[in-house]
Amino acid sequence: MIIVPLVFFTVSSSIAVSADSRRLTRTSSAMVIVFLATSLVAAVGALLFMLVVQPSPGAGVVLKGQPVQEVPSLLAQLVKAFTASDFPELISRRSMLPLIVFSIGVGLATRSSKEAGASFGRFLAGGAQVFIRMVDYVMYAAPIGLLAWFAATVVDTGEALAAAYFNVFIVYYTFSAFYFVAGFSLYAFLAGGVVAVRRFWAHMLEPSLPPSHLFQHGHHAGESGGGAENGGATRYQ
């Protein structure tokens, strides 16, 4: 629920406050490439990890009389991946790629509107800050919700199937934690070396600045003298 407004506000506000068109183009292109590449790495890595570990072999549900489904063409799958048929479907976690495309369009339109879009740009930047803070609040209550969900799963499915769920859950989050620490650190290192790794973890441990700060000041991992300590106002502040 919270990921949809978070993605919209952070992406659109980051583009709206960018002052350099060429840098914005390079950043947007790199963002798309990185998004697709890291998604592929995460999906393949998780699949291979599950196949090797096999947390619950033999567990599953046998479905009888499964209908034969027609496989859509590659072009149809690409169109479906980047578009949504209506606005209510756009604001859904099932349509993340169309949402990102829409957010980029909103950011570009706000930026090109200049002074007429200044107030809306401030709204986007404020929304990004609000939902980043809301994520912090959700994380405080996440363990309680997780335990409640598992207790309800035990009641609904029985102890045996719940134990299989729990094994998969443990393996999945073990891989996720490892991928977050090792994989994201590796991505940061490839982007800018040790300095980028330090900046990434500094932002993770103290996320006081939205992504728009990086777009506004044009920080690269190899640059010196930048960062949160320099402060600075964005275009719409």
Taking the CA atoms of 108, 111, 114 and 118 in sequence, report the sign of the dihedral they define: positive
pLDDT, residue 218, reads: 44
Residues in the chain: 237
Domains of the chain with bracketed CATH: 3-56+74-224 (1.10.3860.10)
Note down pLDDT in tens along the chain; length 237 residues. 788 888 888 888 888 887 667 777 777 788 778 888 888 888 888 888 888 887 766 655 555 656 667 777 778 777 777 787 777 777 777 788 888 888 888 988 998 888 888 899 899 989 988 988 888 888 888 788 877 877 777 777 677 667 777 788 888 888 888 888 988 898 889 888 888 888 888 887 775 555 545 444 444 444 444 444 444 444 444
Q: Look-up: residue for tokens 């401030």?
A: 122
Phi-psi region of 234 (alpha: psi -120 to 50; beta: other; left: phi over 0): beta
User: How far is the first Cα of the chain from the last one, in angstroms, to the nearest whole number?
Assistant: 29
Which contacts qualify for 51-60: CB closer than 8 Å, 24 or more apart?
Answer: 53/171, 55/164, 55/167, 55/168, 55/170, 55/171, 56/163, 56/164, 56/165, 56/167, 56/168, 59/161, 59/164
pTM above threshold 0.85? no
**Residue 228 and residue 231: Cα distance in Å, rounded?**
5
Helix boundaries (H) for 17-62: 21-53
